[in-house]
């Protein structure tokens, strides 16, 4: 009787681990897809507006530099 319970618990653990692994794989692929889409959108925006992108990058650099210098 006790051996059956142990086998049942082990089987349930294996099933739970399988479901968890599948959920993690799904989440991983969604994050990868989102990252790729974001990178493509950023690349497109920079190519369409190169001077504005440089201005924004310069402004952020100056802002970060001022904040660091204040410490």
Please tell me the pTM assigned to this model: 0.58
The token duo for 24 is 């993690």
List per-residue pLDDT tens for the chain, 71 residues long: 566 777 788 888 889 999 999 999 999 999 999 999 999 999 999 999 999 999 999 999 999 999 999 97
- Domain total of the chain: 1
Residues of the domain holding 10: 2-69
How would DSSP label each residue in 3-52?
A: HHHHHHHHHHHHHHHHHHHHHHHHHHHHHHHHHHHHHHHHHHHHHH-HHH
């Amino acid at each position: 009787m006790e051996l059956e319970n142990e086998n049942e618990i082990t089987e349930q653990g294996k099933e739970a681990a399988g479901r968890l692994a599948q959920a993690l794989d799904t989440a991983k692929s969604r994050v990868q897809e989102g990252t790729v889409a974001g990178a493509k959108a950023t690349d497109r925006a920079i190519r369409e507006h190169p001077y504005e992108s440089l201005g924004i990058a310069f402004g952020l650099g100056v802002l970060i530099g001022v904040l660091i210098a204040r410490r």
